[in-house]
Copies of this chain bind each other. A is one copy, B any other.
């Protein structure tokens, strides 16, 4: 009996792709229920408003196919009515600038996930690429508390080691790493150490395993190798604390790649997770070329011997539970508890 991806709730915890109607149709054909879409990398508050406005227009123009997701209930609705749910999130806290009150403002605008830092040190903390990570700043600690209060999910994917550990110790709520892999399987600065992933597991957080070629073994990585990594990571994290975050970069331009890596902070060429020898967008494995290929991951996990329930959890069930809880404001959680 083959396992059908359409019978699952499939959530991709990060995509950075060029969003157009064709891309949405491909995601739906690929069986995807909901995507965390990147609304900013280096943008400040004003620039992020423009990005949010562009998303409003996308939602209005493609209202028959997509819907904005701000709650777990929205994800369930998207699955039920057959629309693609889109969660907006920023891969940086640059939109907050130095203003604590903007956490609540961007939360109201549906920016339900924020990565504390992108590739550089910022007002909140530091990144996996900085030489020294001093940990959460004084402001950063306030940002953590405020994100916890309003129900904005903290993402540590590109965040440095000390800032991540500080956050995992401080956060009163579970934390996400939406797109990274264990560094003992694929050693890179962007992948995560046993220390971090142990702390994430203890925090009841979720790790999204990532197909971005520079975070695995390049385009040559086989589906079997990728699914073996997932299985080993599931063994380590526990089957309830792992999901998918492909970091898919479909149809993105080279200009965007430059913005992604260099922002406005350098005049020198930066390669990010790439290298001088491999300066452009990486080639993706043949089994994950477009969103049409999501079913391949399901088949790969099935071939690895996983059950429908295990695969369902990994493909989206865990993110669904995590986001359903994580997107609620603290006071809603208190109400829920007092009602039970």
Contact = CB atoms under 8 A, between A and B. Distances in A.
A50 interface: yes
Given A108-B108, A109-B109, A110-B108, A101 B56 contact: yes
A57 interface: yes
Q: How many copies does the complex hold?
A: 2
Interface residues of A, number: 18
A53 interface: yes
Contact of A105 (B56, B60, B101, B104): B56
B53 A102 contact: yes
Contacts of A109: 105, 108-109
Given A45-B46, A46-B45, A46-B46, A53 B110 contact: no
A235 interface: no
B110 A50 contact: no
Contacts of A60: 104
Contacts of A105: 49, 52-53, 56, 109
Interface in A69-126: 99, 101-102, 104-105, 108-110
Contacts of A56: 101, 104-105, 108
A194 interface: no
Given A45-B49, A56-B108, A57-B101, 5 more contacts: A49-B105, A50-B99, A52-B105, A56-B104, A108-B109
